[in-house]
Amino acid sequence: MSYTTQMDAARKGIVTPQMETVARKERVRVEDLADRVAAGTVAIPCNRNHAAIDPEGVGQGLRTKVNVNLGISKDANDVDRELDKVRHALKLGAESIMDLSCFGKTQEFRTRLVQMSPAMIGTVPIYDAVGFYDKELADISVDEFFRVVERHVEDGVDFLTIHAGLTRAAAERLDRTERITSIVSRGGSLLYAWMKQNGRENPFYEHFDRLLDICERHDVTLSLGDGCRPGCLHDATDACQVEELITLGELTKRAWAHNVQVMIEGPGHMSLGEIPGNVMMEKRLCHGAPFYVLGPLVTDIAPGYDHITAAIGGAVAAAAGADFLCYVTPAEHLRLPDLDDMKEGIIATQIAAHAADIAKGLPGARERDDAMSRARADLDWCRMFKLAIDPVRPRSYREASAPEVEDSCTMCGRMCAVRTMRRVREGKALAMAE
């Protein structure tokens, strides 16, 4: 029996190789996974043109996944340097790479990325359209926008961020709303400008079925972007954000009718207490579709440390039911991240995702933590390093400050509580003095 997409296969009772791979990774029954794919509560972004992919699932009952943003721009147009970042991101265990390229040799970067990456690949085609056509935004036609979408899909991209929910009505509401930061979504701002300058509806909303036809042909997942996501605490959970979310829920139903998988993108900046309610609202309004969040950043006053503010919000969001975290680096709001920034962002986001998976009680989520605890109880430093999310930093810390006695560290030395308890229980002398 043939099928068009993972969702179509699941609805026909077909277990695909991609479903088998994801079920094995997640320690769930493949039949249960297929039921969730059929219902839309799990997506397996997997373009049939992406030969190198090692499929991942995003959604209900699965591990929280981490995305890394990369790409070339006019100010940083070095393809090889960005591909080096890709290699490091994959080595650090990122499950997803988003190519946000907007200038220069975008197709070269994208095709090389797809060829080398086992991680799922996402793009935002409207970014590429402006640079690709080398013309003013207002002069880009609807057909030209869709030609870029088709090019990305043909190149093997697994999911597309499309800001289809930012309609003309939503833009008019935004104009009446007292937001501090207005629109902070790059794609959202471009579509807002295009609509205003042309006096027309959002082309991806008006021609949504055309978009669905493209995605269905290649089994590409739609990541419905939040053009009205809040860019500061003041703007969170306002009418603009909620209205767009309602529209995204309606579009989700239309996509599922075409067997197109969907993820919903979310905030943004938001106070800690608002996060669980926003996750619940997305799940309700968007019918349980997987939720993909940027942060949320829980304070606006930590430039240079936004990987931390985002990890705090990301842990709360994922524990409340968000499924996919976009990393944030220390360079957020300041510059294009370098390799060190990228690593800090990935590790912080992985910590948030893992902490949330423990809170959600996912199968096997605590096994590594318990193994780490046993290694600490045994004062087995090598084992601790192997189990660490980042084995490099803890090893370098220990090597930089050698203790007087091997079974301790330079903070407690001979007074180490673990060392004391082990020695007493083994009937050994404490040997506190020289």
Q: Which residues are annotated as a binding site for substrate?
A: 69, 98, 127, 163, 185-187, 226-229, 265, 292
* Six-digit token string for 3: 């099928």
- In 3D space, the residue among 65, 94, 98 whose CA is nearest the CA of residue 352 turns out to be 65
DSSP state of 310: H
Residues annotated within the binding site are: 69, 98, 127, 163, 185-187, 226-229, 265, 269, 292, 333, 409, 412, 416
* Six-digit token string for 88: 């490091």
User: Read out DSSP for 366-403?
Assistant: THHHHHHHHHHHTT-HHHHHHHSSSSHHHHHHHHHS--
- H or E stretch covering 161: strand 159-162
Q: Check if the beta carbon of residue 202 is closer than 8 Å to that of residue 163.
A: yes
Q: Cβ of 380: how many Cβ atoms within 10 Å?
A: 15
- From first CA to last CA, the distance across the chain in angstroms is 77
Cα–Cα separations (whole angstroms), residue 209 to 203, 206, 217, 243, 246: 11, 8, 12, 21, 18
User: Read out DSSP for 190-247?
Assistant: HHHHHHHHHT---HHHHTHHHHHHHHHHHT-EEEE--TT--SSGGGTT-HHHHHHHHH
Residues annotated within the binding site for Zn(2+) are: 269, 333
Residues annotated within the binding site for [4Fe-4S] cluster are: 409, 412, 416
Maximum Cα–Cα distance for the chain, whole Å? 84
Separation of alpha carbons 277 and 122, rounded Å: 27
Helix (H, G, I), strand (E, B) or coil at 7: helix
Upstream peptide bond of 40 is cis (omega within 30 degrees of 0): no
Tokens 């306002």 belong to residue: 238
Q: Check if the beta carbon of residue 21 is closer than 8 Å to that of residue 134.
A: no
Parallel, antiparallel, or unpaired: how do β-strands 291-294 and 262-266 relate? parallel
